[in-house]
Structure 1
Amino acid sequence: MEFPYRTYLILFLVLSLSTLPALSYTVFSPVDNYLVDCGSDDDSTVDNRRFVGEESSNSGSLVSHSDGSIPVRNNNSFVNSSPIYDTARVFTRPSKYEFEIRDKGTHMVRLHFQTLNSSKFDFFNAQFHVLVNDHVVLSNFSGGNIVIPRVNDYLIWVSSEKLVITFIPAKPSKFAFVNAIEVISAPKDLVPNTAQLVTSEKIVNFDGLEKQALEVVYRVNVAGPKVTQFNDTLWRTWVPDNEYLESSFGSKSLYFGGRIKYQKGGASREVCPDNVYNTARVIQSTNDSIPNVNITWTFPVVGGYKYLVRMHFCDIASISIGLLYFNVYVNGNLAYKDLDMSSVTNYMLASPFYADFVVDGDDLSVLTVSVGPSNKSLAHTIVGILNGVEIMKMNNSMGSLDGMVCADWVSRSWPRGNVGVLFPLVFAVCLLLGISMVVQRKLIWNEGYSFGWSKLPVDVSETSVKH
């Protein structure tokens, strides 16, 4: 009778050992996790995630202020499209959503947009602004620019007990809309407080990063396929790098089928998933000489902002530790010299590492990242590697991610009462007063009088990015 028990015990031990890698990390479970299917009465399931209809009893502590808002359903459902894009809430006047925040800190805010076929509204006529707390995230956003479902992805620092998303039509003849909203508390290690500010002259610390508002502009899986929300612990999408690769000459793609070894205090699956770290583009020395070649990726950007550039590395190519040294460049400037992958990963292969750089994009129309051999690179080894890239726009001095306008100005731009008549009247009075002053000055000048003058004050306070 002992044999069956001994067999069961052995089987149990084998199964336990085989599942240890899978149980070596906990699945991310956010404290704040709002998924809203706007304009819908019913819940929708997308990639095993439940988006709650606004009128559903499961809406929890979500408070929607939607005066002048109308739920709209698509007349003809989109083929092979998520159900959250079959409904929308339309706003004909300023309206807002309020979300109760239990976990203060960085939150992921995603806004889903898709124009609908509706007899009530021409979605191509939509034009509106969107505010998230004190930040302008969209200014004069147009429905006519949406061809396929669009997801705007933001990282917002929240220090209060509420996160407020406000939709404001650009003018009374226009309207705003949204199909779905996600508000999710982010892992504490997702956005650090300090990064390296890289310029052509120097590299210095950039502090206060975590409290900046960020818009994800690019999230790229180097040498790999598209990674969907279903395969990412934070429900992100990573696109292939082919479109941004300037030249693949001298490089090759690599896939790794083994286990990515995350270490405590280093990169986590929430920072970047396995499916990004297990592919890479590499430069390899195949003889006694080091190839004189860099791999470069080019990304169009909007000028007038700083950008956070996050580069992901994982040595899935070397046959041994202590062999991989290379340089990292951002906008052609040396950002990391002689990066030693063994040193930054505690001398462990297939262990991920990422580096954060801040660049000033005031005069830029494109942003480039590159990797290539360094003076410490060794012959017959890998001399350059990159697994993933993220580029995030940082809010400007106005607290805006879309134009030189502040949230207060946008909030006050909506006409109130007879303000539509008042503004032209005030403008006319100011114009007449200005003309009168000019005429009086000319008359006095002609009579022989002279005037002293003082320079207008220019030291008006302005919120600036900390660095």
Structure 2
Amino acid sequence: MATPPTSIGFRLLISFLFSLFVVSVSFSPADEYLLDCGSAVDSTVDNRRFVVDSPASNAAFFSSDGSISLRAVDPSPNLPQIYRTARVFTRPAKYEFNVGEKGTHLVRLHFHRFNSSKIDFSEAEFHVVVNGYVVLRNFSGEDESSTKFGPRVREFLIWVDVGKVVIRLVPSKDSKFAFVNAIEVISAPRDLIADVATSVSHDGTGKYKGLIHQGMEVVYRINVGGQKVTPFNDTLWRTWVPDDEFFKTGEGSDKIYFSSRIKYRAGGASREVGPDNVYNTARVVKSRNRSVPQVNMTWEFPVTKGYKYLIRMHFCDIASMSLGMLYFNVYINGNLAYQDFDISYFTDYMLASPFYMDFVVEVDDPSDLMSIGVGPSSKSVENAVDAILNAVEIMKMNNSMGSLDGDIPAEMILSRCPNRRNISTLISVMAFMCILTSVYIVARRRRVRDGFGWSKLPVDDVPSDDLKASRRP
């Protein structure tokens, strides 16, 4: 049974106990690389050790002749160590990570434009390509659409079957540079991404296959009705933010908090799919005055049109007092995505057991907004919970060009931005050839001039008698 929070101290105690439990059963990935870029010493963040990326270390991860390591000037005392250093590239560079497990890998890139006495970070502009996917283009290290300053984390899900994760950073122009503060490459649990989802459009619903081979960027990860969940409290070291900024309508809805144990089960959502601190909070619609309210809860998210998106909606019935009473509809962009959803059926008739549904939708709305909603259905009953949502994740899928940022393929980006060392070598060779050509031309001209100097003049062939005759009057 759901109970409202009785005190801040009680909630903090429960969260702390959950945190200790999560740490004790933390997921152990087959592949895990954590790099503190540009640092001379290893760093620890959220009990995780980020190692240096220096070529002098036992394992050199990056290759570039034009890299600079920087340290922040007067950083904030609360700034994590990984954001106090950076590696800057004035030439195209790449990081290579050997992976032993085929499958989806999480790639997190950390950026922070700190104060430096050696470089102006406002001049940064670069592209990032990961295993052939264009994940960032003309990126400056800041999100143009955001008014918030500070560290940025861009997270991607990349299918790997070649034994390596290769991250390429390419300055967009000769006058620009690339940088990165930290990198994470982690093999994902096999149940994190399913291969099949439900497609939703104006024409109805269908099946979408082939999800696991898509490149994806995590755009939003929302904890509905709850507080921020930090990487320390998540077995995959994710961050979940509160939904208040995105929640638009839902008169009569309530936030709830569940203080008992979340019941993970085989075949349902695992702790790696969603942590306890996500499933023990929610927003709900409840019947009032012995009637089913005709109200939907709606969330709106700014997105980039022209892409398909994977929408994962997390459900866990922490509000009902008995099974078989919670039915509701699910809407995406105003289209009915699922009618009369019976959460008891999908959780094998177990309360407080998590479940998620995946939907794929293409955004073509001129407003660049995606809406998600839940509300009572024709099967909703009085004196019961009539809709619930615990969390939402939204992931952008790569387009036909293999890009998550624009319509330019990786091949074009890499061909347009060759290594400057190769350019310098080419220029040197061309200059040397020009010198040789000049020397050859000068020598040939001298030879020709000298040859004319020793030639007989035509007068030398005229007989002397003829000359004398020509002088007579």
Fold shared by both chains (TM-score > 0.5): yes
User: What secondary structure sits across from 1:335 in the alignment?
Assistant: strand
- The equivalent residue for 1:273 is 275
Q: Would the aligned equivalents of 1:135 and 1:401 in 2 still touch at CA under 8 Å? A: yes
CA contact (8 A) 2:204 2:335 kept: no
Q: How does 1:218-367 map to 2 (within 5 A)?
A: 218-364=220-366, 365-367=368-370
2:371: which partner in 1?
A: 368
Tell me how many residue pairs correspond in the alignment: 400
* Cα-to-partner distance string for 1:298-353 (whole Å, 9 max, x where unaligned): 00000110000000000000000011000001111111110101100000000001
Higher mean alpha-carbon deviation, 246-255 vs 209-218, is at 246-255
Amino acid of the structure 1 residue aligned with 2:85: T
Match of 1:198 in 2: 200
Work out the CA distance in 2 between the residues paired with 1:267 and 1:119: 48
User: Aligned residue for 2:392?
Assistant: 389
Question: Does residue 86 in structure 1 map to residue 90 in structure 2?
Answer: no
Q: TM-score, normalised by structure 2?
A: 0.82
Q: Deviations 1:79-110 (Å, cap 9, x if unpaired)?
A: 31100011000000100000001111000000
Is residue 41 of structure 1 aligned with residue 40 of structure 2?
Answer: yes
Q: Is the 8 A contact 1:306 1:362 kept in 2?
A: no
Q: Give the whole-Å Cα distance in 2 for the aligned partners of 1:316 and 1:209.
A: 30
1:417 aligned counterpart, secondary structure: helix
Per-residue CA deviations over 1:204-239 (Å, capped at 9, x if unaligned) read 111000110010000000010000001000000000
CA RMSD between the two structures: 2.1
Distance 2:199 2:143 in 1: 34
2:423 is the counterpart of 1:417: yes
Identify the range of structure 1 (341-350 vs 355-364) with the bigger mean alpha-carbon deviation. Answer: 355-364
> Would you say 1:111 and 2:109 are equivalent positions?
yes
Q: How does 1:180-199 map to 2 (within 5 A)?
A: 180-199=182-201
CA distance in 1, matches of 2:259, 2:180: 40
Could you list the per-position Cα deviations for residues 261-302 of structure 1 after superposition, in whole angstroms to 9, with x for gaps in the alignment?
001111001000000100000000123321000000000000
Output the CA distance in 2 between the equivalents of 1:257 and 1:48: 26
User: Which of these residues, 138, 141, 150, is aligned with residue 139 of structure 2?
Assistant: 141
Aligned residues with identical type, % of pairs: 59
Secondary structure of 1:189's counterpart equals coil
After superposition, the C-alpha distances for 1:235-270 in whole angstroms (9 at most, x for unaligned) are 000000000000241100000000000011110010
Q: 2:72 aligns with which of 74, 90, 97?
A: 74
1:247 and 1:122 map into 2 onto residues whose CA distance is 43
Counterpart residue identity of residue 250, structure 1: G
- C-alpha deviations, 1:15-49, integer Å up to 9, x for none? xxxx9x969x9531001110000001200000000
Residue 161 of structure 1 corresponds to 163
Corresponding residue for 1:209?
211
Aligned to 2:470: none
Q: Deviations over 1:160-213 (max 9, x none)?
A: 111100000000000000000000000000011000110111211110001100
Instruction: Tell which deviates more after alignment, 146-155 or 201-210.
Output: 146-155
> SS where residue 423 of structure 2 aligns?
coil
Distance in 1 (CA, whole Å) between partners of 2:143 and 2:244 is 24
Tell me the secondary structure at the aligned position of residue 292 of structure 2.
coil
Q: 2: CA distance between counterparts of 1:84 and 1:420?
A: 38
Residue 126 of structure 1 contacts residue 144 of structure 1 at CA under 8 Å; is this kept in 2?
A: no
List alignment gaps of at least 5 residues for structure 2: 1-17, 428-473
* Aligned mates of 2:233, 2:104 — CA distance in 1: 22
Q: State whether residues 55 and 62 of structure 2, in contact with CA within 8 Å, keep that contact through their aligned partners in structure 1.
A: no
- Counterpart pick for 1:379 among 357, 363, 382: 382
Q: Who is 2:444 aligned against? A: none
TM-score by length of structure 1 reads 0.83
Map Cα deviations across residues 132-161 of structure 1 (whole Å, 9 max, x no partner): 011000000014658210000111000111
Per the alignment, in what secondary structure is the counterpart of residue 273 of structure 2? coil
Cα distance in 2 for partners of 1:397, 1:378 equals: 45
Provide closer, same or farther for how the CA distance between residues 420 and 296 of structure 1 changes in structure 2, counting only shifts above 3 A: farther
Task: Give 1:62 shift.
Answer: 5.3
Check the 8 A contact 1:306/1:359 in 2, yes or no: yes
- After TM superposition, the runs of 4+ consecutive aligned structure 1 residues lying more than 3 A away are 59-62, 143-146, 418-421
Do 1:61 and 1:99's aligned partners in 2 also have CA atoms closer than 8 Å? no
Change (3 A) 1:60 1:418: closer
> What CA distance in whole angstroms lies between the structure 2 residues aligned with 1:403 and 1:316?
41
